[in-house]
Every structure is written in structure tokens, then in C-alpha cells.
Amino acid sequence: MTPDIERFNTRDRAMHWLTALSYVYCLLTGFAFYTPHMFWLAVVLGGGPTSRFWHPILGIGFFLAIVWMHAVWRGDMHITETDKRFLSRVADYAENRDHLLPPQEKFNGGQKLYYWLMYYGTLLLLFSGLFLWFPEYISLSMAWVRQLMIVLHEVAALLTIGGFILHVYMTVFLVPGSMTAMVHGYVSKAWAKTHHALWYIRVTGGEPAPKE
Amino acid sequence: MSNGTLEIKAISGHAGTVPGQGVSRDYEVCKLIDVTTCIGCKACEVACLEWNGYPFRETVFDNTYQTMPDLAWNYYNLIRFNEHVGEDGTFRWLMRKDGCMHCADPGCLIACPADGAIVQYANGIVDFNQDNCIGCQYCVTGCPFNIPKFNPETKKVHKCTLCSDRVGAGLEPACIKACPTGCLHFGSKEDMKDLADKRVKQLHEHTSHTDAGVYDPAGVGGTHVIYVLHDINHPEHYGGLPKDPRVPLLVRIWKGPLKWLGNFAIAAGILAVAGHYVRFGPKRIHEGERK
């Protein structure tokens, strides 16, 4: 067994789990406000008024965590030509023909797309959310603004939920090893070589692939 | 739901049927406000505060009779003093008692996500139940009349109850009781519409108010508070009464197609990834060197 490679350091993981927890809280309480069929979630989480009180505050927390993440990961998230080639072969990725895929950096094209979806989604949620938080300051003649913002808030939330479903599915089920990477920080060399070959070569100086 | 004596017609944020629907034969009630006989005495405002047990508010002076700028969470009922100069240069007071209209198609109730925070009784009264209110103020966005008011301390929204507690006990609303000119009437919707039509006919025949009419906007399914206005063509002269109020289209989209589309997409997404796992399973790590 060859020694593992550090994929996410403590800062990365703290950052990630801050966004994750605050997002999930907003997601669950948001679902409660979204449809009567899920209003019981608010009851479970301490009641409707409590959920309504904390939803925007945790939302601000989520935004701040995203700002931190952006400061750290922005450089890694530019979509490159390699990413475009990777994304053009998304069908091969989805059907697990991974040997046909071009080698990837620390984050592959799909992860980068998810990152930008969440980044812009967060900005949209924050912007529209502020109007939902303080609707009493909007006069009746500007009522269309708060109506539009409610719709925008929900559309933005639904878009991030789409990405979130894929994100959770892929880390927890589809790609074994990626969940432990975010929990403990380390991946095996074989994992790195398989999923992020360019990054593997960069951090190891291109040492030959290990046999497991 | 604060009122056990009235039959419920609709409940906000409520999955499933409304309990007890169709068990009694409550008739629709209505408050008629004949603004042509309002003298702006504010007795209705005082009666409202008296009955609901709220303190008087500080007044402001801005060189008009409008000593309070707007409704408030503890001020359900406000006379709007509009100084109107007509096309012929004549000056006229247009005084209107402002408050909840108790729409048959209530935008507040449609927008509300909290189970039982807003109820519509079979008699037409739309009532807020602060016990269930979560303070999200979606009702503020849903209302075409800008009526619900938020109390930032308790984080609850309030508005006129049409004295559902009094009506449930067979009494008329407090404001009706206080009105000295007979400008306020209360009864069945049918009777009030009759009375309003008679008054409009009278205005047409005996006064110069030939544009007088009844304000019972169809866009919100009719209201359970209706006005007789001197000039039905310009309700906006009466302190921002909307000409054709409707539940906002965006609120309809938000609570209708967008909800179903979103629910479908979320369910489809979860099923799709589950299906993908069953069909393709987890990714494997390449063994050894493979290019």
C-alpha cells in the first residue's frame, strides 16, 4: 500500500463543511417554506418561526463561507480547454468508460461547473433573499420587485438543488474515495491517478502509478 | 382557526382537505363603506383599537389631515384623507376607510407557507392566526392592497379580522357600531350589494356624482368589504385603491406551475441518480498503468 496524497487540507475541509452545513440547513428549512407537503421539516427543525428566523441568518453564513471558498479555490476553477474536452465526453463519464476520458487537473470540468453553479446560485439567492427578508420596505408601487424576487429565489434554489443532488450522489455513491477525501483529506495514489491524472502528476512529480 | 364558531373554507400552507368543510350554511358577510357619507371622524379607528385592545399611536403632522401615514400591525383601520382637485378646479375631500378587503380569492392566503396561519371562513372573512404565523411576510407580497403589517418585535403579521370574534358571536364589527353617519353597514354580501346599488342609484339621480359606482373588484373574486365611490372610474384617487386588483401573476406562477415543475424536477433528479447507480454502479479505480 503506497502512502496517500493529501487532497484537501484542514482549511479546505473546514470551508467545505461550513458551506455544506449552512446550505443543508437552508435547504431543509427552505423546503418547509416551499411546499405545505414539506412544512413538517420546519416543525422538526424547531418550528416555523424558528426556521424562518434562522434561514436568512444561516443563508448569510452560507454566503460568507462561499466567499471564503471563492477566495481559496477561484484559481483552480477556471474552465480550460482540457475541461471542455472532458465535458464533451460527459456521456463516457456517465457510463463509466473512464479510460476514454482526457486526464484531469485537481478538479474536473464537471466539478468546476458545479462550483460556478453554486457560486452564482449563492449570489442570486443572497440578492433575492434580501428582498424576501425585508419586504416591508418595498412600497406597493414597487410590489413587482418583491414578487419577482420570490420567483427568482425559488428558481435559484431549484438550480442549486439540481447540482446538489448530483454532487451528493457522486461523492457518496458514484466515486468511492471522494467522501473520505473530504472527511479525512487524503486519497490513494491510484485514486488520484484514475480521476485526476494531471493533478497527480503535478503533486507527485510524475512518479509511476502505484500498483494496488 | 382562532374562531371555533365559524366554518372554515380555506387554510394556508395546508396539504390535503379542509376539515369540516361544507357542514354548515353560513352566508357570506360583507362590510359596505359608503365613502360619500364619510366625514372622516375616525370613530371607526377608535372603535377598532378599543375592541382589539391596542394602544393609540403617536400621530405625525405633515400639513394634512393624515395624522397617521399608514396602517400598522396594531392599527387595522385607517381613514385616508385625500385632497382632490377635480378637472373643473373644484376641491373635494375623498375620505376612505382603508383596511383589509377580505378578498374571495385572497392573495395573502395563496402566498402563505405556514399551515393554518391564514384561514378563510365560509362567510368570507380572511383571518390571520398569529399562533401559526412564521413571520415570513409572503402575505405582504401576495396582497394586492398592501394591507398586512409586520410586527418586528413578535415577528407576526396582523391585519383587520373583520371582527371575526364578534361576527362569530352574532355581533357586527366594532367599526360599524361606532360610525355616526351610517356610512358603514354590515350584513350579508347580497344585502350589502343591494344597498350599495340603491345608494349609487340615489347618487346618480339626486347628486352630481354621476360616475358613482360600487367597488367590488372581480379580479380578486369580489371582496367582503365593498365601497361606494363618487367616481368609480378613478379608485386610485382614494389613496391608492387599485383599479383592477388581482393576485399578482408572479405569485400565481410561483405557487402554481413553478411549484409543480420544481417538485417534478427534484423527484426526477433523485430517481435519475438512483437509476444511474443501479444501471452503471460506482466508478472503479484503474489498476496499474493504463492509458
Measured in angstroms, the CA of B66 and the nearest CA of chain A are apart by: 18
Q: Which pLDDT score is estimated for A206?
A: 67
Comparing alpha-carbon positions, the chain B residue that sits nearest to A158 is: B262
Domain ranges within chain B, ordered by starting residue = 8-246
Q: For residue A149, what are the CA distances in angstroms to A58, B107, B142? A: 19, 16, 12
Q: Using a CB–CB cutoff of 8 Å, tell me whether B69 touches chain A.
A: no
Distance CA B2, CA B28 (A): 19
Statement: residue A212 has pLDDT above 70:
no
Q: How confident is the model at residue A80 (pLDDT cuts 50, 70, 90)?
A: very high
- Contact list in A for residue B15 (CB cut-off 8 A) is 35-37, 39
The cell for B34 is 359608503
Separation of CA B191 from chain center:
21
Higher pLDDT, A37 or B25: A37
- Option in A146, A169, A212 nearest B141 (CB): A146
d(CA B245, CA B236): 11
> Residue B291: what pLDDT?
41
The CATH code of the domain at B8-246 is: 3.30.70.20
Contact between residue A42 and residue A33 where contact means Cβ atoms under 8 Å apart: yes
Confidence of residue B196 (pLDDT cuts 50, 70, 90): very high
Q: CA A13 to CA B194: how far, in whole Å? A: 71
Give how far B250 is from chain A: nearest CA, Å: 6
B124: left (phi over 0), alpha (psi -120 to 50) or beta: left
Residue A53: which of B149, B155, B270 has the nearest Cβ? B155
Q: What is the DSSP letter of A117?
A: H
Q: Which domains does chain A have, with CATH numbers?
A: 9-86+108-181 (1.20.950.20)
* Average pLDDT estimate for A175-180: 92
Q: Work out the pLDDT band at B4, boundaries 50, 70, 90.
A: low
**Residue matched to cell numbers 495514489:** A189
Nearest to B191 by CA among B220, B226, B219: B226
- Do A49 and B251 make contact, defined as CB atoms within 8 angstroms? no
Contact A136 B269 (CB under 8 A): no
Q: What is the mean pLDDT of chain A?
A: 92
For A59-101, the three-class secondary structure string (H helix, E strand, C coil) is: HHHHHHHHHHHHHHHHHHHCCCHHHHHHHHCHHHHHCCCHHHC
Instruction: Decide if A46 touches B, using CB distance below 8 A.
Output: no
DSSP one-letter string for chain B? ---TTS-EEEETT--SPPTTTTSS-PPPEEEEEEGGG-----HHHHHHHHHHTPPPPPP--SSSS--S-S-BTTB--EEEEEEEE-TTS-EEEEEEEES---BSS-HHHHH--STTSEEEETTS-EEE-TTT--S--HHHHH-TT---EEETTTTEEE---TTHHHHHTT---HHHHH-SSS-EEEEEHHHHHHHHHHHHHHHHHHSS-TT-EEE--GGGT-BSEEEEES-TT-GGGTTS--SS----HHHHHHHTHHHHHHHHHHHHHHHHHHHHHHHH----PPPS---
CB distance B159 to B148 below 8 Å: yes
Confidence of residue B22 (pLDDT cuts 50, 70, 90): low
Q: Residue A187: closest CA among chain B residues belongs to which residue?
A: B285
- In percent, the amount of chain B with pLDDT more than 70 equals 95
What was the pLDDT predicted at B76? 96
Predicted ipTM? 0.88
Per-residue pLDDT reduced to its tens digit, B244-286: 999 999 999 999 999 999 999 999 999 999 999 999 999 988 7
Looking at residue B225, its amino acid is V
Whether B114 has its CB under 8 Å from any CB of chain A: the answer is yes
Question: What average pLDDT does this structure show over B213-227?
Answer: 97
Dist. CA B7–CA B23, nearest whole Å: 8
Q: Do B285 and A191 touch (CB under 8 A)?
A: yes
Q: What is the rounded distance in angstroms from the CA atom of residue A130 to the CA atom of residue A123? A: 11
pLDDT at B288: 53
Residue B96: closest CA among B36, B143, B185: B36
Residue B3 confidence (pLDDT): 58
pLDDT of residue A75: 92
Kindly identify which residue of chain B lies nearest to residue A38, measuring between CA atoms.
Answer: B15
Whole-angstrom distance, CA of residue B19 vs CA of residue B7? 9
Average pLDDT over residues A66-86: 94
Asked whether the beta carbons of A120 and A106 are under 8 A apart, the reply is no
Angle, helices A48-73/A10-34, rounded to nearest 10 degrees: 140
* Among candidate residues A210, A50, A67, A48, the one with its CA nearest the CA of residue B112: A48
Q: Does any CB of chain B come closer than 8 Å to the CB of residue A207?
A: no
Distance from CA of A62 to the nearest CA of B (A): 19
At A153 the three-state DSSP class reads: helix
